[in-house]
Amino acid sequence: MKSYIRVFLTLARNSFVRDMTFRANFIIDLVTWMAWMLMNLLFYILIFRYTPEIGVGTGWEKYPFFIFVATSLLVNSVVEMFFMMNMDELSELIRTGALDFALVKPIDTQFLVSLTKTDWSAMGNFFLGLFLLGYSLLKLGYAPQFWELALYPVYIVCGVAIYYSLMVAMAAASVWLGRNLTLMDFWFSVTMFSRYPMEIYQGRLGAPLRRGLTFVVPVLVAVNVPARLLVRSLSPQSFADWLLPIFTIFATLASLGIARWIFQRAITSYRSASS
């Protein structure tokens, strides 16, 4: 375990040095990430000028919803910082045969291809999420209890793990597809639904979508569960408020296990470009 931590720190340091070599590009990327999110926040602020909550009777009023947005920022920024760039490049490694160099390294291949590069410019949205979370809690006049402060980062990690598992499974499929140029498009299409509270998915179309994205591909729980932990912890609305966090732990472990199995099967099916 210590050797893996040292390798990760070395890779992260190398990425930071590489980013600092081109400081202007790093600053532009940092500002672009944050500007995009600030524009979304302005859009949400505009919406709350005309409605008291997102979805009738859902309880997601302005500042509780901003806690949800902050949680989404924290989860997505970690995924974008450590995994998105690497998973996007995995397809090219497979197509060109460059994956050979990772396979011969005396280290777990999935670990290496997942953390080769760190996108430090995504760090801006992480701190923006922390600021928005603190600001929203202050506006609500609510100080989280100790157990909430302890569990919140645990479920943030669960959300990151679920997103990571989905990315690994999609990226590893490049072994069978030959070239997967639509990974990011498909990724954003699936995770788009998790950027809003699950309570808004109702009716004939919304209810099946909510069940599918909760219990089949559990992307909805990645953000909803940690956000609900802070917003609804003192007055649970139903038994589901207690059941959903328990299910999230199992969903996280299952997602990681399935993603690992798919990756291993893909590596077994992989044939070097030089063979």
b/e 64-102 (16+ beta carbons within 10 angstroms → b): bbbbbbbbbbbbbbbbbbbbbebbbbbbebbbeeebeeb
Q: Is 49 helix (H, G, I), strand (E, B) or coil?
A: coil
Chain segment 201-241, per-residue pLDDT in tens: 888 888 888 888 899 889 999 999 999 888 875 445 555 66
Residue type, 218: P
Distance CA 207, CA 227 (A): 20
Joined together, the tokens standing for residue 83 give 């995994």
Q: Choose among 36, 40, 15: nearest CA to 195.
A: 40
pLDDT category of residue 260 using cuts at 50, 70 and 90: very high
Calculate mean pLDDT across residues 128-140: 92
pLDDT at 235: 47
Residues 6+ apart with CB under 8 A from 101: none
Show me where the domains of the chain are located. 2-269
Of 25-29, 68-72, 170-174, 233-237, the range with the highest mean pLDDT is: 68-72
CB distance 175 to 269 below 8 Å:
yes
Chain segment 61-80, per-residue pLDDT in tens: 899 999 999 999 999 999 99
pLDDT at 271: 77
pLDDT at 234: 41
